[in-house]
Amino acid sequence: MKALWFHLMPYPELPEGFREDHRSVWVDIDPSLYDPAVGHRAYHDYLDELEHAAACGFDGICVNEHHSNAYGLMPSPNLMASALARSTDDAAIVVMGNSLALYNPPIRVAEEMAMIDGLSGGRLVAGFPVGTPMDTCFAYGMNPATLRERYHEAHDLVMQAWTADEPFAFNGTYTKLRYVNPWPRPMQDPHPPIWIPGGGSVETWEWCAEMDYVYSYLSYFGYKAGQATMKGFWDRMAALGREPNPFQAGFIQFVGVADTEAEARRLYREPAEYFFNRCLHLYPPFADPPGYRTEATVRAGVEGMVKQAADRAKAASGSSKPGASAGLSFDEMVDRGYVVIGTPTTVAEQLTEVATSLNVGNLMLLCQFGNMDRDLAMFNTDLVARKVLPEIRGLFTDEWEHRWWIKPMAADQRRSTTRTEVAR
Amino acid sequence: MTDPTSVVERRVVATSGGGTVTVFELGSGPILGVLHGTAGLDGPTAAMEDLAADHRVIAPCLPGFGSTPDEPSLRSIHDWVVALSEISDAAGITGAPWLASSISAMLALELAAIRPEAFASLVAVGPTGLWDADDPGTDLYAVSLGEQASLLAQNTSTLGVLAGDPDGLDGDELIEVGVSRYIRRRTAASLVWPLPDHGLAGRLHRVSAPVTLVWGADDRLVPPSYGERFAGLLPEATLAAPIAGAAHLAELDAPAEVAAIVRLRAPAGA
């Protein structure tokens, strides 16, 4: 089992009445709610937390990309990843990832990821999400009808750029380049492992199965609600004659640990309610522009993760309009498995259930969520690392090989990242 | 004796580019080309039936708008204008008077900017294609599906056609209706995403045929104020009085009023 520590980097000071007074956390959120001083502190706290997770022994640390929102303050995950490449030594740096269609030309992704891979000594996992509809179609103006075609073309360009042994011309529909020859090249040969974050689109899991990529289901709603999607992925794998190697799948899970059940509920109630009732306060139309879902996904009746989030947020309040009510309760979040809360023993049991029931070998744990402060995030991370991970680490390792993991330089060949002390 | 307007021919024509489109034809008299709006085309509309009393109404369904399959190779406005030119020739409406609505009116104007003989005259209902940051109109794709339907039309029977569940269909058939509506929403959105401005303002001076601009008084997608903007950029434009009680797809909300305007511009006896 690989245990990864995932940071969404939420804006931590949305006001108390946010869901009543504002229609959406994404796209048209009130710019006056952003305080640069809060952002300054948050970025430093969040990098501290990621560095702490790496130091505690998590196998990887994860960052991702979102735009025009208070849900996650990382328009550029590569900036965060480059800082982490300098301040950590062994953990995989999992960029989950770059929304390929948003880069013009997309060769920029090949370049920046190669920089991170080189800087980190070959520790990059390259994630390529299509991107949420809020990010891609609304904040970045991508035409939903052509977004996926543009994404796949960008993917082909990046992969060709990483593997070609001489400069080449690329004559795509959306990108035309006479000379493709990115420098630097990735450290890992032939390229960093490719993980695809998905929100439930049928095509995404089919494509991962066909391309032999890791499918990472980024569900906000816990493993109980994730069963159908992961079953779809594994069914497709079986249809293609592929082995059900759990290391080809990832799953995200909110986790809060304390010495007693009661203490855990006391500590994590507020951050969980903040996340589900403010960070996921989505205006439903922003989650489902026409064309974002493919015809097959529409026909299958599958709705994307963010659309589900928007609908649940609206259902919880009865309305997305000002004057709406309180939202999802903490007890509901726990009962439904959205957040796994408890003692190290009970959390280890539940995470074992998550991993085995979904057959996922890469668990991406959210030990910071909502407005959880730095001290509590550090405490939670430390407890998970010391008392939970030892109980789940051995899962799958005897039976399966992780073919989608980083291949870093040997430690004795890597340039030390220890910074020179500056005399004051 | 059979009412000639009740005889609807539905045929599939091949375009010179290798595609096929479904065309509806009804009535007798001089040819009138009709291009549907955002909601697509499943058969003759009330305005088409009205006009068929003294015209041969020919209405092609553009790709991805219901009766003609989606065509993924149509990505840019240039692609669409070339496609419309070929569809016009295949349907036999090139050089005739046209009635076009919404996105089709935009495409008709784009086509006439490079092919002035595309139509003899045009009645354009709520054309998209211009953008005024001070008067942007409502974003159709930032409202719920129910609100979208009411922004397109406000006549309750029209709304039923746009958004209601057809009677007598089983589960699978209803899914296909839903998918078809999704595809036409996707296609319509692709023509105006993220903004409807593809540079038409710089080309409208090349449209030499007369254009009559018609607006639903309650059009909140492309506000009636855009009529003045189009009129100021077109060499020969007439701005009709906004039609009361009609939303964006005024030809669906007020078919008789729109048909009357078409007869003024394209009289059957002319």
Tell me if B270 is assigned to some domain: no
The per-residue pLDDT for B146 is: 87
Q: What is the CATH number of the domain that holds B233?
A: 3.40.50.1820
Q: Which of residues 35-74 of B touch A (CB under 8 A)?
A: 72
Q: How far, in Å, are A260, A281, B224 from residue A320 at the CA level?
A: 36, 8, 30
The per-residue pLDDT for A322 is: 40
Question: How does pLDDT run across B81-126, given as a tens digit for each residue?
Answer: 999 999 999 999 999 999 999 999 999 999 999 999 999 999 999 9
Q: How does the average pLDDT of chain A come out, rounded? A: 92
Our count of domains for chain B comes to 1
Burial of B201 from C-beta contacts in 10 A (0-12 / 13-18 / 19+):
middle
Our count of domains for chain A comes to 1
Pairing assessment for the beta strands B8-14 and B20-26 based on DSSP bridges: antiparallel
Pairwise CA distance, residues A260 & A370, whole Å: 21
Q: Name A167's Cβ contacts closer than 8 Å, sequence gap at least 6.
A: A179, A180, A181
pLDDT band at residue B159 using 50, 70 and 90 as cut-offs: low
Q: Which residue type occupies A244? A: P
**Scanning every residue of chain B, which has its alpha carbon at the shortest distance from the alpha carbon of A301?**
B175
Tell me if A286 is assigned to some domain: no
The per-residue pLDDT for A276 is: 93
Tell me if B159 is assigned to some domain: yes
User: Residue B124: helix, strand or coil by DSSP?
Assistant: strand
**Scanning every residue of chain A, which has its alpha carbon at the shortest distance from the alpha carbon of B142?**
A285
Pairwise CA distance, residues B203 & B223, whole Å: 21
The per-residue pLDDT for A306 is: 67
Q: Do A301 and B175 touch (CB under 8 A)?
A: yes
A169 phi and psi, to 5 degrees?
Answer: -100, 145
Tell me if A124 is assigned to some domain: yes
pTM over 0.90: yes
Mark out the alpha helices in B30-163 (DSSP H runs).
Answer: 46-51, 77-91, 102-114, 145-152, 156-163
Q: Do A145 and B175 touch (CB under 8 A)?
A: no
The per-residue pLDDT for A303 is: 66
**Nearest CA among A92, A123, A117, A119 for reference residue A362:** A92
Pairwise CA distance, residues B218 & A344, whole Å: 61
Dihedral sign computed on CA atoms, order B207, B208, B209, B210: positive
B141 neighbourhood in chain A, CB within 8 Å: 285, 289-290
**Nearest CA among B20, B22, B157, B19 for reference residue B8:** B22
Pairwise CA distance, residues B242 & B210, whole Å: 18
Mean pLDDT (whole number) for B224-239: 98
The per-residue pLDDT for B160 is: 65
**Nearest CA among B160, B157, B137 for reference residue B219:** B137
Taking each helix axis from N to C end, the angle separating B171-192 and B102-114, rounded to the nearest 10 degrees, works out to 40
Q: Low-confidence residues of chain A, pLDDT below 50? A: 318-325, 421, 423-424
Tell me if A364 is assigned to some domain: yes
Is residue B190 within 8 angstroms of chain A, CB to CB?
yes
Q: Which of residues 147-186 of B touch A (CB under 8 A)?
A: 175, 178-179, 182-183, 185-186
Tell me if A308 is assigned to some domain: no
The per-residue pLDDT for A325 is: 44
Q: Name A325's Cβ contacts closer than 8 Å, sequence gap at least 6.
A: A20, A317, A318
Domain carrying residue B109: 4-265
Is residue B193 within 8 angstroms of chain A, CB to CB?
yes
Q: Do A145 and B144 touch (CB under 8 A)?
A: no
**Of B142, B187, B195, which has the smallest distance from its Cβ to A145's Cβ?**
B187
User: Residue B206: helix, strand or coil by DSSP?
Assistant: helix
The per-residue pLDDT for A319 is: 45
A176 neighbourhood in chain B, CB within 8 Å: none
Tell me if B55 is assigned to some domain: yes
B187 neighbourhood in chain A, CB within 8 Å: 145
User: What is the rounded (10 degree) CA torsion for A373, A379, A385, A388?
Assistant: -100
How close A291 gets to chain B, by Cα (Å)? 5
**Of A145, A286, A298, which has the smallest distance from its Cβ to B142's Cβ?**
A286
Q: Which residue type occupies A106? A: P
User: What is the rounded (10 degree) CA torsion for A358, A361, A366, A367?
Assistant: 120
Question: How does pLDDT run across A316-326, given as a tens digit for each residue?
Answer: 654 444 434 45
Is the pLDDT at B201 greater than 70? The verdict is yes
The per-residue pLDDT for B62 is: 98
Q: What is the CATH number of the domain that holds A143?
A: 3.20.20.30
Rg (CA), chain B: 17
The per-residue pLDDT for A424 is: 43
Domain carrying residue A237: 2-14+33-272+335-411
Tell me if A418 is assigned to some domain: no
Tell me if B142 is assigned to some domain: yes
Tell me if B8 is assigned to some domain: yes
